[in-house]
């Protein structure tokens, strides 16, 4: 997270210097102070925005936080049914676990999620408040062992990417397809509970990346649930392909392989395969891939996602 704080510090210092230069230039010209203030108004707004970003980034440099605000019908401020609280928070944790499993294990509906992933992405209830009913959840960053954002930041980023894509059917289908059938199932179950509970839930994520906020109510939860229900069951298969590994991004854990036919396949790399793949860049390889194929029945749109499970050097010519 140091890179983010360093970048913001540099931007703040540069903006302050520009403001100072403008003031000095106007003073040398003998112009009134209010003229300079008019000129630097937008710069001051940028400076305040950068300082706010730095404040948030500093506070959440070692953790992710979510603030949930519930609006249960028929109850006074500060009260919430236990059933509502457990269904919403429990369902949210299942979606988070499924996304982390897709990113750091495999996007499969089968088999248990490794305990390490569950432990490192366990949301901790830190605080409750009255005012409708508010809950603060946090998850601390695990120790960094590779480049890029911590596991928890990447997981939350994918969670809110999913939430923010849910307003448009095709965007939702694209994002959920990449996250695998387990995430599809749990997100579908969660939105079903939200619409049946008829409780509006506001969710705000605070991170070193900044802030993001979404609102779920009966109407949009029902619409999301119906879209997810119109996605055919994901067909999962394991395939072996031979080709040249033409791209590996260690930070984003993505790959590209070019087959002898000229076809290019790209997608995610399993965590344990990243280092191996990085050492085989631009070499002929045998790759074991997990293929996920989904179809959105409403439009007939199909989506295929790939995950690199294993790779080894192989001269197939």
Residues 6+ positions from 219 with CB-CB distance below 8 Å:
none
User: Residues 15, 47: contact at Cβ < 8 Å?
Assistant: yes
Average pLDDT, the chain: 89
Residues 231-244, mean pLDDT to the nearest whole number:
87
Residues 161-168, mean pLDDT to the nearest whole number:
94
Q: pLDDT category, 298, cuts 50, 70, 90?
A: confident
Whether pLDDT at 67 is above 70: yes
For position 188, what pLDDT does the model report?
96
Q: How is residue 185 written in tokens?
A: 């199932």
Q: Which of 295, 285, 219 has the alpha carbon at shortest distance from 258?
A: 285
Is pTM, for the whole model, over 0.85? no
Whether pLDDT at 278 is above 70: yes
Three-state DSSP state, 145: coil
How wide is the angle at C-alpha 21 spanned by C-alphas 16 and 23, nearest 5°? 95
Strands annotated E in 208-296: 210-216, 235-249, 254-258, 264-269, 284-296
Q: How is residue 57 written in tokens?
A: 């980034």
Q: Output phi, psi for 188, to 5 deg.
A: -65, -45
Segment 168-216, tens digit of pLDDT: 998 999 899 889 889 999 999 999 999 999 899 999 999 887 789 999 9
For position 233, what pLDDT does the model report?
67
Q: pLDDT category, 19, cuts 50, 70, 90?
A: confident
Residues 123-127, mean pLDDT to the nearest whole number:
95
Q: pLDDT category, 255, cuts 50, 70, 90?
A: very high
CA separation for the pair 21, 50 (Å, rounded): 19
CA separation for the pair 240, 295 (Å, rounded): 23
Q: Output phi, psi for 255, to 5 deg.
A: -145, 165
Q: Which of 213, 211, 207, 212 has the alpha carbon at shortest distance from 58?
A: 207
* Residue given tokens 């499969």 in the structure block: 108
User: Residues 212, 164: contact at Cβ < 8 Å?
Assistant: yes
Between the alpha carbon of residue 34 and those of residues 18, 40, 269, the distances in Å are 17, 10, 56
Whether pLDDT at 36 is above 90: no
Q: pLDDT category, 64, cuts 50, 70, 90?
A: very high
Q: pLDDT category, 277, cuts 50, 70, 90?
A: very high
For position 109, what pLDDT does the model report?
74
For position 30, what pLDDT does the model report?
78
For position 303, what pLDDT does the model report?
87
């Amino acid at each position: 997270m140091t890179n983010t704080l360093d970048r913001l510090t540099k931007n703040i210092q540069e903006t302050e210097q520009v403001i100072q230069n403008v003031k000095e230039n106007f003073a040398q010209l003998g112009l009134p102070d209010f003229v300079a203030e008019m000129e630097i108004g937008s710069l001051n707004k940028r400076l305040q925005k950068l300082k706010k970003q730095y404040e948030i980034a500093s506070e959440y440099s070692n953790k992710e936080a979510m603030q949930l605000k519930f609006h249960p019908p028929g109850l006074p401020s500060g009260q919430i049914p236990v059933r509502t609280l457990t269904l919403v928070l429990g369902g949210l944790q299942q979606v988070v676990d499924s996304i982390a499993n897709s990113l750091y294990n495999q996007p499969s509906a089968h088999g248990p999620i490794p305990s390490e992933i569950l432990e490192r992405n366990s949301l901790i209830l830190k605080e409750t408040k009255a005012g409708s009913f508010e809950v603060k959840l946090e998850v601390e960053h695990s120790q960094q062992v590779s480049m890029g954002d911590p596991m928890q930041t990447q997981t939350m980023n994918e969670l809110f990417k999913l939430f923010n894509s849910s307003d448009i059917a095709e965007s939702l289908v694209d994002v959920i397809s990449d996250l695998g059938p387990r995430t599809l199932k749990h997100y579908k179950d969660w939105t079903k509970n939200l619409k049946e509970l008829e409780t509006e839930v506001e969710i705000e994520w605070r991170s070193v990346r900044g802030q993001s906020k979404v609102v779920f109510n009966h109407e949009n939860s029902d619409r999301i649930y119906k879209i997810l229900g119109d996605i055919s069951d994901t067909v999962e298969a394991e395939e072996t392909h031979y080709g040249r590994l033409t791209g590996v991004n260690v930070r984003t854990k993505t790959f590209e392989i070019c087959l002898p036919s000229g076809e290019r396949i790209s997608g995610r790399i399993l965590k344990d395969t990243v280092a191996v793949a990085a050492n085989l860049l631009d070499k002929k390889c045998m790759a074991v891939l997990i293929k996920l194929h989904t179809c959105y029945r409403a439009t007939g749109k199909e989506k295929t996602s790939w995950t690199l499970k294993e790779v080894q050097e192989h001269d197939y010519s």
